[in-house]
Amino acid sequence: MPIPKDPNVLVGLETSDDAGVYRLNDEVALVQTVDFFTPIVDDPFTFGQIAVANALSDVYAMGGTPLTALNLVAFPIKTLSSSVLKEILLGGLSKLEEAGVALVGGHTVEDPELKYGLAVTGIVHPNKILTNAKAKVGDRLVLTKPLGTGIIATALKGGMASEEAVRKIVESMVALNRKASESMQAFGAHACTDITGFGFIGHASEMVLASHVGMVIRSKEIPIFSEAIEYTKLGLIPGGAHSNRQFFSCRVEVHSNVPSFLTDILYDPQTSGGLLISLPPSEADRLVGTLKKEGDAYASVVGEVVEEPRGKIQVL
C-alpha cells in the first residue's frame, strides 16, 4: 500500500512490528494495536481472559503501558445464548482490571462465527520504545513462556488433550506479559517481540530481518509444554504450523541433530505467547532469575544474536 510518510509515526508497517507508535510530543507516544480471534478453549470466561492477555501483549512487547481498550465482538446471536457473550466480556474485564486498563467502549456485529478481541491504546516514552529492530550482535535471547499452545489446542479440538495439558496452556495464555515487560526494561533490553501466530521462528525471523543480524537458537534450551512434544509425535500439528514453515523455512538452518518434532514446535502458532527479548549478555541470566521469581517459571536463555549469516536463524 502507498502509505504517506508522517514524521510522527515512529513505528509503522515497514518492520512488521507488534504495534504502531505515534509521537504526541517529546515525552509521550501512543502505542496502538488490535487483535481478535475465534475461541480456542470451551469456557467463555477463560476465552475472554486469553483474548485480553493476547491483545495487551503487543503493547507490553514494545515497552509500553496499556491504558484503554475497546471490545470487538462478532457473535452468533441466533445460535448462542447471550449469557455466553456476557461470560466472555466478564472474563475480558477481569484481565483488563488486573492490568489496570480502562474499558472505554466497543462494537458488536452479528456473525455466524464467534470472535472476540480488543483494540488497545497505550503510551510509551518516544526514546524508550522497544522494537524488533535493535537486536545487537552479542546479545542473548530470552523466551518467557513455553511453546506448544497451538499443538495442545489442536489436540483439544480433536478430543485428545489431557486435562493437565489444557490447564497448563490456559494458565500460560491468561498470564499477562506485563511483569516481563517491566523487567526487560529494567535490564536494558535492546529489542523485543511477542510470540504469537507466526510461531517462534516467524517472530524471530522478523527480528533478524528488522535488526540486520543473525541468530543462533539452542533448541534444547527452548521451554516447551511436555504434552506438546507428545502430541507433535502423534501428528497433532495445526495447519498454521505448516503455513509458518512454508513461509519462514527459507530463513532457517536446522542442524541435523535437531529432532524433527522440535522444528515442528518452533513453527507452532502461539496464542498469547511469551516475549522474545534480546538483551546484553551480562544481563540475560539476571533477567531470567527475576522472571522466575515473578512467576514465569519457564523463562530461559534460548540463544544469541550473531553477525552472520545475516537474516538467518541457525537452530542447533
Nearer to Co ion, 142 or 161 (CB): 142
DSSP string, 218-285: -GGGS-B-HHHHHHHHTT---HHHHHHHHHHGGGEEE-TTS-HHHHHHHT---SS--EEEEE-HHHHH
Question: Taking the mean position of all CA atoms in its chain, how far away is CA 94?
Answer: 20
The answer to whether 268 contacts Co ion (rule: CB under 5 A) is no
Nearer to Co ion, 194 or 283 (CB): 194
Interacting span for Co ion (CB under 5 A) from 13-21, 62-70, 122-130, 218-226: 13-21
Minimum CB separation of residue 105 from Co ion in Å reads: 8
Burial letters 79-116, b for 16+ CB under 10 A, else e: eeeeebbebbbebbbebbeebebebeeeeeeeeeebbb
The answer to whether 35 contacts Co ion (rule: CB under 5 A) is yes
The answer to whether 17 contacts Co ion (rule: CB under 5 A) is no
Structure-block grid coordinates of residue 240: 498454521
Structure-block grid coordinates of residue 54: 493476547
Measured CA distances, 219 to 69, 153, 200, 283, 316 (Å):
36, 22, 11, 21, 6
Nearer to Co ion, 35 or 230 (CB): 35
Q: In this chain, which residue has its C-beta nearest to Co ion?
A: 18
Nearer to Co ion, 16 or 162 (CB): 16
Burial of 296 (0-12, 13-18, 19+ CB in 10 A): buried
The answer to whether 107 contacts Co ion (rule: CB under 5 A) is yes
Minimum CB separation of residue 112 from Co ion in Å reads: 20
Minimum CB separation of residue 261 from Co ion in Å reads: 25
The answer to whether 194 contacts Co ion (rule: CB under 5 A) is yes
The answer to whether 220 contacts Co ion (rule: CB under 5 A) is no
Nearer to Co ion, 72 or 222 (CB): 72
Nearer to Co ion, 48 or 254 (CB): 48
The answer to whether 58 contacts Co ion (rule: CB under 5 A) is yes
Interacting span for Co ion (CB under 5 A) from 50-58, 138-146, 279-287, 298-306: 50-58
Q: In terms of DSSP bridges, do strands 313-315 and 252-254 run parallel, antiparallel, or are they unpaired? A: parallel
Site size with Co ion, rule: CB under 5 A: 5
Residue 120's H or E segment, with its range, is strand 115-124
Burial of 127 (0-12, 13-18, 19+ CB in 10 A): exposed
Residue 215's H or E segment, with its range, is strand 214-217
Task: Taking each helix axis as running N to C, give the angle between helix 239-248 and helix 199-211, from 0 to 180 degrees, rounded to the nearest 10.
Answer: 30
Interacting span for Co ion (CB under 5 A) from 32-40, 45-53, 276-284, 291-299: 32-40
The answer to whether 206 contacts Co ion (rule: CB under 5 A) is no
Footprint on residues 77-106 left by Co ion (CB under 5 A): none
The answer to whether 18 contacts Co ion (rule: CB under 5 A) is yes
List contacts with Co ion (CB under 5 A). Answer: 18, 35, 58, 107, 194
